[in-house]
Amino acid sequence: MKLIVGLGNPGRKYEGTRHNMGFMAIDEFASMCRADFDKEGFKGNYAVVNNPSLPEKLILLKPETFMNLSGESVEAISSFYKIGIEDIIVIYDDMSLAPGKIRLRKSGSSGSHNGMQNIIDHLHTDKIKRIRIGIGEPGLYSGADYVLSSPKEEEEKQALQEGIGKAAKACRDILLHDFDFAMNLYNR
């Protein structure tokens, strides 16, 4: 069983913000799997997916703890379902990548992303697979103001939507093949 986590902040106030790329990507992947986030618990909303087109059962999770406490939700659900570190994938936004670009990694630092850092802290390892979706650099904005705002330019909106779609397809390719296959396909 695999656990795929999309990071974001709950509530209407944060819908469509750059910091919610993880939520948007996991929603897109859930739609591909014909799954609904119909369960509440483990400090989040989640879906248990038993899709015959996928090789194994999986859980999709959107923590409702707010970004910086995401590790609480990930630790709770992975502990309950006995999901090992090697079977966890986290999707989140990354300011160091151009808008819409995605990058897959098997381990490493959080890159100053507080949600990912909290997951690393709660799971006691940085060997967590992740899919990062580029949102671009903040320019004149502070980092917090930038990630908590929505894109204004049509070109940026389109690039971010493409990144969300690529991240969802990367999830599918990881499940149908493996993480290395998806890394080779998307890390170009």
CATH number at residue 98: 3.40.50.1470
On whether the CB atoms of residues 73 and 123 are closer than 8 A, the answer is: no
State the binding site.
Answer: 14, 66, 68, 114
The parent domain of residue 156 ranges over 2-186
Active site residue 122: no
Residue for token pair 């656990």:
3
Q: pTM for the complete prediction? A: 0.96
**pLDDT at res. 188:** 86
Residue-wise pLDDT for 52-64, tens only, equals: 889 999 999 999 9
Where does residue 31 fall: left (phi above 0), alpha (psi -120 to 50 degrees), or beta otherwise?
Answer: alpha
State the binding site for tRNA.
Answer: 14, 66, 68, 114
**pLDDT at res. 141:** 75
On whether the CB atoms of residues 62 and 37 are closer than 8 A, the answer is: yes
Active-site position among 19, 122, 124, 177: 19
Residue-wise pLDDT for 8-63, tens only, equals: 999 999 999 999 999 999 999 999 999 999 999 999 999 999 988 899 999 999 99
Assign 102 a pLDDT band (cuts: 50, 70, 90): very high
Residue-wise pLDDT for 130-180, tens only, equals: 999 999 998 777 888 899 999 989 999 999 999 999 999 999 999 999 999
Cα–Cα distance between 79 and 125 in angstroms, integer? 15
**Cα of 17 vs its chain's centroid, Å:** 14
**Domains in the chain: how many in total?**
1
Give the C-alpha distances (Å, rounded to integers) separating 152 from 91, 143, 155, 177: 23, 16, 9, 36
- Is pLDDT larger for residue 54 or for residue 118? 118
On whether the CB atoms of residues 69 and 117 are closer than 8 A, the answer is: no
